[in-house]
Amino acid sequence: MNELDLFRESCRAFVQKELSPLNSPDEFSDVQIHQLSQMGFWNLVDDELGLVPLAIAVEEVARKCPSTALMISIHNCLVLKILKTHGSDEQKKTWLSLLQNGERLGSFALTEHHAGSDAFMLETTATEEKEGWVLNGQKAWVTHVNERSLCIVFAREPGTVGPNGISLFMVPFDSPGVLIEPNHDLLGMNGLNTSTVEFKDVALPAHALLGTKGAGSRLGLEALIAGRLGVSAQALGLAESAFEGALKYSKEREQFNRPISDNQGIQWMFSEVGTVLSAARLLLDRALNEDSTDMYASALAKWVTTDAAMRTSTQAIQIHGGYGYMKEFPFERMYRDAKVTQIYGGANDIHVKYIAKKSISKNHQWLEAGPETPFLNQFKQWVEKHILSHVSKSSCNPEQSQIHMEEMAKQGWATLAVPEQSGGVGITSEEFASAMIMLAETCASTAVVFSVTNMVLSGIARFGNEQQKKEIIPRFRTGEWHSAAFALTESGSGSDAASMKMTAELQDDLYILNGTKLFITSGDSAQLILVFAKTAPDEISAFLVPQDTTGLRIGKTEEKMGLWGSSTVELIFSNCKVPKIALLGSLGQGFKIALSQLDGGRISVAAQAVGIAQLAHKETITYALNRRQGGRKIAQHGQVKQKLAEMTRSIELSRLLIFHAARLKDSGKPFTKEASMAKLFATESCNTLCIEAAQIWGAEGLKETNPISRCIRDVKVTTLYEGTSEIQRWVIARHILKA
């Protein structure tokens, strides 16, 4: 356990013992201020760790009292951080220790009644005189308002407009001329002092100017970027508290003679919300580790976490039914508090607008870039040269994808997922996910054949005996064989694989396979097929069956909605005889083999969905920047910006979930839940993304020759194979409820 983990534990213990929700500003006492000071909560801006300690403290406090969490966030992010970074030696000497021990509480006065999101419209003035400045104006919705507050106030020199001429001033609220109006009645965050503050000829010394004259816009933006990360941590803590409360209640509350947590609808709700919360946490962690001036990361984090808080608190009320609506339960307060997080620190609508603008810029980079390795550089160059230049944007045929696989196999890439000690290339799961995204963005049909082949070969490396490894893996490593198939599904056993009918009966030294497998990718062109069959009524085993085995024949070739470049066939086994050495693993181990390979396969399918989505995203941005309607580019229209921002969000969160699951797999840690979360979120959100892309394209996007039409056709199946979305929700809910 590292230092930050210990700090989180101490924060959580303190919160549970000492804090309770604040229902009015009067409940926030000097005793609490002192307790928070003893915990170091008024001094959380660390020179080495940045805002990470602050985020931990704010998140833990928000679990119990979001109002107190917001005070801590404003104090540290919007006041202390700016003072430490840009304050003069005299200012630091005067104010720093007072702020750090809680004798002065930081406040931030930017908003005015007519200048909210467009803060540059502010009218409060600071007139420079011989001995200092004179402040006049009015600020709205100022938080942390009392006579012990030290406030950073934004004001402009008379006669200036826009962002020019705005400066920052440090104003003690016990200064003559500072008039504090009665507290506002708020929808949420009822423990806060929030008021209108008027400045009437407030005389300030020259050293009250924070930073340089006219630097207010730049410093204010820097403060708000940090502040948004504080709001994100607050929203995440609130959301997790609501989620945990709803989870506990669902296990205790019985309806129809069973806990409501047994209800599939409730489980669905937990899986969806739990996945969103996991993505939100990964995003906040990433944003905290980015450059502290990264507006894109903080804007995205604030949008995602506050929406997650709103969604989670809404679902918590729904799970509690009528009780959730009652004030004796905390969930109606959480709902009201969550709503407020979507507004302050910049309304989410403003962040959406910025994210859309950023996403269409030429230098936009994904926050989760994935690993950078020599192999991936080589793979990217190869894909661009040998596949991108030869594949139509509208489709790819099975002959092309097989040629691609033959060429990749010659590079040894059919064994990328096979460890070096087993004769493969042995790249990491992170690298494989990156490769899948690259390949799927170019040709999703080739990507699925590539994925299945590597999944089968990794299964042989993990469960095969030495003879199997020596006979099979080198053939794929050298390119003698190039494709493998995974034969699990039957007409009556899709998600319920245990109900399969296919049998494998041992006669002398041979297993006799009988049955039919459906929807088998590359079943007609693969040199090797991993087949699952029952060796006893309650026992499934796995077999390695070469394509040319007597008794195996190709049945119907399916015509599909998408992935036209990968063949999908029926395989018919009629007294198909294979030697005992064909048994993979031990008898009865088949179901374990299938599930273990599917966990990794789900990460690959999620990556495939993201690759398809990135193609749709890129093509749609290009189209939106060139298509004009109403005298301007459609990318400039508000509704199109909203869609582009949501598309960007879907890809960002999908990538975070995918690479998180891949890292867990690489580290040898359990990753079943995380793989299902990655697959569920990526495949569902990327399906929505492609449909929204078509909406931007209009009728043009529905042409069969249009790349968006191809993306819609190709991405749909990602919600089906390697376990449907419904199965992923069941897997996720099962893990959440057990925890």
3-state SS class at 240: helix
Residue pair 654/612 in contact (Cβ under 8 Å)? The answer is no
- 143 and 183 Cβ atoms separated by less than 8 Å: no
**Chain-centre distance for alpha carbon 67:** 26
Contacts of 376 (CB under 8 A, 6+ apart): 370, 431, 434, 435, 438
Q: Which two tokens stand for residue 222?
A: 């820097």
722 annotated active-site? yes
Across 185-238, the runs of DSSP E, i.e. the strands, are 194-205, 209-210
Nearest Cα neighbor of 527 from 588, 464, 456 is 456
Tally of residues, the chain = 739
Give, in degrees to the nearest 5, the angle at Cα 446 between 440 and 450. 95
CA 724-728-731 angle, to 5 degrees, is 140
Element spanning 533, H or E? strand 528-536
CA dihedral sign of residues 311, 312, 318, 322: negative
Is the four-CA dihedral 367, 373, 376, 377 of positive or negative sign?
Answer: positive
Which residues, including other chains, have CB under 8 Å from residue 75's CB and lie 6 or more apart?
A: 42, 99, 105, 106, 144
Pairing of strands 178-180, 194-205: antiparallel
Q: Which residues contact 244 (CB under 8 A, 6 or more apart)?
A: none
- Kindly report the CA angle at 332 between 257 and 328, in degrees rounded to 5? 70
Beta bridge partners of 460: none
Catalytic residue among 240, 368, 652, 722: 722
Give the CB-side neighbour count of residue 94, counting CA atoms within 13 A: 14
DSSP letter for each residue of 544-564: EEETT-TTEEEEEEPP-SS-T
The tokens describing 408, both together, are: 């990749």
- Pairwise CA distance, residues 71 & 53, whole Å: 15
122 Cβ contact list (under 8 Å, min separation 6): 110, 112, 115, 137, 154, 155, 156, 166
Please answer whether residues 553 and 602 qualify as being in contact, where contact means their C-beta atoms are separated by less than 8 angstroms: no
> Considering just the CA atoms, what is the radius of gyration of the chain in Å?
30
CB within 8 Å of 632: residues ≥ 6 apart: none
CA atoms of 138 and 124, how far apart (whole Å): 6
The pair of structure tokens assigned to 99 is 């702020």
Neighbours of 639 (CB within 10 A): 10
- β-pair partners for 133: 128, 204
Burial of 310 (0-12, 13-18, 19+ CB in 10 A): buried
In the structure encoding, which two tokens stand for residue 38, read together?
């003893």
Rounded distance, CA 318 to CA 296, Å?
33
What residues act catalytically? Answer: 722
